[in-house]
Structure 1
Amino acid sequence: MHQSPRCGAKTRTGKPCQSPAMPNGRCRMHGGKNPGAPRGNRNALKSGQHTAEAQRFRARISDLLKDARETIELIGK
């Protein structure tokens, strides 16, 4: 146990952590068991609603609706 690699993360005091490291190189307090979120943004592509193309399309529709409302208002006067 004393010969195992150490975490080495900077603590609040500014010194390196001396807790034993897990296989990911950090201790249980500085690295956790979970490696983190998956790489990339796969969740945004599930429905396609949040892609850049879909957002541009919705913005264009909003602009067209705004223009239509203004035109109707001008005609009504």
Structure 2
Amino acid sequence: MLTSARCGAKTRAGAPCRSPAVSGKMRCRMHGGAKGSGAPKSNRNAIKHGFFTREAIDERRDLRKLLSACRETLDEFK
């Protein structure tokens, strides 16, 4: 137990965690080394709604440019 690898996480106080790492992992059971812990292998949350896809970002950018041009045109008529 004393010679096993230590967890690489930091505590809230900034000191390194002194718990032993789970075998085959870099973290202890409390910091994500337990079986089934952590995020899924692929980031399915990002593609769930498509808000941050390249096409959606480009579409919002183009819409902002169009709105800006419309505001400038309306300001010319004042």
Establish whether TM, by shorter chain, passes 0.5: yes
User: Of 49, 67, 72, which residue of structure 2 is paired with 1:65?
Assistant: 67
Residue 29 of structure 2 is aligned to residue 28 of structure 1: yes
Answer whether contact 2:22 2:28 (CA < 8 A) is retained: yes
Runs of 5+ unmatched residues, structure 2: 9-14
Deviation of 1:23 (Å)? 4.5
In 2: Cα distance, 1:18 partner to 1:44 partner: 33
- Stretches of 4+ moved more than 6 A in 1? none
Partner residue of 1:54? 56
User: Of 41, 49, 52, which residue of structure 2 is paired with 1:39?
Assistant: 41
Deviation of 1:47 (Å)? 1.1
Alpha carbons of structure 1 residues 64 and 38: separation in structure 2 relative to 1, 3 Å: same
In 2: Cα distance, 1:30 partner to 1:43 partner: 22
Answer whether contact 1:48 1:54 (CA < 8 A) is retained: yes
Deviation of 1:38 (Å)? 1.4
Question: The residue matched to 1:72 in structure 2 has which SS?
Answer: helix
**How many residues matched?**
68
RMSD: 3.0
Answer whether contact 1:24 1:31 (CA < 8 A) is retained: no
Answer whether contact 2:7 2:19 (CA < 8 A) is retained: no
In 1: Cα distance, 2:72 partner to 2:53 partner: 29
Alpha carbons of structure 1 residues 24 and 65: separation in structure 2 relative to 1, 3 Å: same
